[in-house]
Amino acid sequence: MSDEKPIVLKVTDQTGQTQELVALDGWRAMEVIRDYGLPIKAECGGACSCATCHVYVADEWLEKLEPPTPDEEDMLDEAFEVQENSRLSCQILMSECLSGLHLKLAPGSEPD
């Protein structure tokens, strides 16, 4: 048996329902959300060339994330309803230190 604890990603969808997902170390939050079948477009597949994986990061987690790159900031300019806590989930790499991270899927990120 392994003593490793699972990496947990909490995601609130556009209807307000929250689910706890198990993430793999090094995976993008977007990949975890998509692979669990939650309603996220993620059209570019993680290339940071669209804003369809836009999420809001819970305030207590903002300082724990790497800051957004200039490319991510440029893409967020294309997103709907951008807030101070907006990020692209394809740019958040899951790790043990991010276990418990809580994201909310933003308007406009749901599939058509």
pLDDT 10s digits, 55-77: 999 999 999 999 999 999 999 99
Closest CA relative to residue 55, chosen from 6, 8, 101, 24: 101
Domain of 95: which CATH number? 3.10.20.30
Does residue 98 sit within a domain? yes
Read off the pLDDT of residues 6-38 as tens digits, 9 standing for 90 and up. 999 999 999 999 999 999 999 999 999 999 999
Pinpoint the alpha helices (H) of 2-109. Answer: 29-35, 70-76
**15 is a domain residue:** yes
pTM of the model: 0.94
- Asked if residue 41 belongs to a domain, the reply is yes
Task: Tell me the C-alpha distance between 30 and 47, whole Å.
Answer: 11
Total of domains in the chain: 1
The answer as to whether 78 is a domain residue is yes
In a domain, residue 95? The reply is yes
Short-list 10, 85, 96, 87, CA closest to 51: 87
Query: Which residues constitute the domain of residue 98?
Result: 7-105
Residue 112 domain-assigned?
A: no
In a domain, 2, yes or no: no
Is 43 part of a structural domain of the chain?
A: yes
